[in-house]
Amino acid sequence: GRRPDAATMAARALSLCDGDAALMANAHGFAGFNLADWGKYDEAALAYESGLAAAGKAGVPRREGWIYGLAAWGWLRSGKLDLAADWARQSVVICDRLEWLAFRSWPETVLAEAELIGGADGRNCVALARRLGPGAGPPCPTAGPGVADGTPEG
């Protein structure tokens, strides 16, 4: 199956890192994501912690931001909403510091989902949608009124 095969690949990747902390951060991040998707949250947490330690040692903050974001998703899946939100915020802070816009939407989305599931009123989710899709118009250029913004006037 997909998950055992991915675990085998992650183990192989770790064995090829030859002590390179940046490579180890990548491999641990991949392993953690696979484990979380598999529902093995405790093992995923250990992989993420190892990845963060390796990224810190290597001085690769982008990898730290990536791992925080992946881990936030895992915490969300596990139902640990506070941890999901905290780790997502850490990822967003790093993305902002690095001006890494290509990845920033991942932790922002996890954060919004954690807040919404946790009982937030949804205003942050609407604001997030506007930030992630500024200028987004109707999916079809010939769409009629109301499609662009959900109002009868469009």
Predicted confidence pLDDT, tens digits, the chain (154 residues): 788 898 898 899 889 999 999 999 999 999 999 999 999 999 999 999 999 999 999 999 999 999 999 999 999 999 999 999 999 999 999 999 999 999 999 999 999 999 999 887 766 666 666 666 555 444 434 444 444 444 344 3
Q: Note the pTM of the prediction, 2 decimals.
A: 0.80
- CA 145, CA 65: separation in Å to the nearest integer? 40
Q: Which tokens hold the place of 48?
A: 């993420």
- CA 138, CA 115: separation in Å to the nearest integer? 27
pLDDT given at position 35 = 95
**Alpha helix (H) residue ranges in 19-80:** 21-37, 41-58, 61-78
